[in-house]
Amino acid sequence: MKLTIVETGLVPEPIRASFVDYPGMFRALVRASDPAMAFDTVSVIKGEVLPDPASLEAILITGSPAGVYDDYPWIGTLMDFARAAAAAGVPQVGICFGHQLLAEALGGKVIKSPKGWGVGRHTYDVQACPGLVAKNCPKTISVAVSHQDQVVTPPPGAEVIARSDFTPYAGLYYANGPAISFQCHPEFDDAYSAALYTAREDRLGPAAAQAVASLAVPGDNALVGEWIADFLKSHAR
């Protein structure tokens, strides 16, 4: 199976030389559970043209500093791409911005939340586990986050699989998409998360140090990566 990663954001310039790019982070995350997975990357943030989604085996949309409501031409094009992929039955994964874009494209609503920045290791209640992940379904998952925007209305037919008071729609599963998406960042290891929060201290203020300290809570990145890999394998075309 080949997973096409749609790159919608770049590692911030001040720390870019110290870390692999976002597609590289996702390759490592998914390969840990499925070493046989093949990958391709299309970088819309660098101006690359999206292929016909019906020609793809699976799609993953990364995080981005952009908002789905921003007036960048590639965002509308990517929404059309996501809708066409859903219509063709191509399995899709969305992370952070990708989570929001899938929701907005498929009939939900995303806004810049009045709750402000969500940063640090957040813990979500697991509301339900679709059959594909029922074999490993804990009561909670804890994963690093970095976002201001949130899904406030999920699309019709989307099942909430993870939530918190801060982020009521933190994980969504689309049985008819098919798609699975998360507001959190399972691809971020602790070193990158800490560097990212520190680099954004001018925007985050004291919350930056608090976010770094929160990384002492054990993370469930590998588990979410396993869920993603299982989802992809169960929907292989």
Give residue 133's pLDDT: 61
Tell me the mean pLDDT in the region 44-70.
98
- Residue 131: pLDDT over 70: no
- Residue 123: pLDDT over 60: yes
**Domain encompassing residue 19:** 2-234
- Residues 189-222 have pLDDT tens digits of 999 999 999 999 999 999 999 999 999 999 999 9
Task: Single out the catalytic residue among 7, 129, 184, 187.
Answer: 187
Give residue 170's pLDDT: 98
Which amino acid is present at 66?
A
Tell me the CATH number at 180: 3.40.50.880
**Do 147 and 96 contact (CB within 8 A), yes or no?**
yes
Which amino acid is present at 43?
S
Give residue 128's pLDDT: 84
Domain count, the chain: 1
Tokens of 111: 């806004």
- Residue 177: pLDDT over 80: yes
- Residue 147: pLDDT over 60: yes
Q: CB burial class (10 A; 0-12, 13-18, 19+) of residue 155?
A: buried
Instruction: Answer positive or negative: Cα dihedral of 23, 28, 32, 34.
Output: positive
96 is known as an active-site residue:
yes
Task: Single out the catalytic residue among 96, 99, 129, 235.
Answer: 96
- Residues 8-44 have pLDDT tens digits of 999 999 999 999 999 999 999 999 999 999 999 999 9
Mean pLDDT, the chain, rounded, equals 96
| CA separation for the pair 147, 129 (Å, rounded) | 24
| CA separation for the pair 184, 19 (Å, rounded) | 19
- Residues 91-114 have pLDDT tens digits of 999 999 999 999 999 999 999 999
Tell me the mean pLDDT in the region 41-68.
98
Give residue 136's pLDDT: 80
What is the residue whose two structure tokens read 């043209």?
Answer: 49
Nearest 5°: the CA angle 72, 160, 226 is 85
Q: What is the pTM of this model?
A: 0.97
- Residues 155-171 have pLDDT tens digits of 999 999 999 999 999 99
Task: Single out the catalytic residue among 99, 122, 185, 235.
Answer: 185
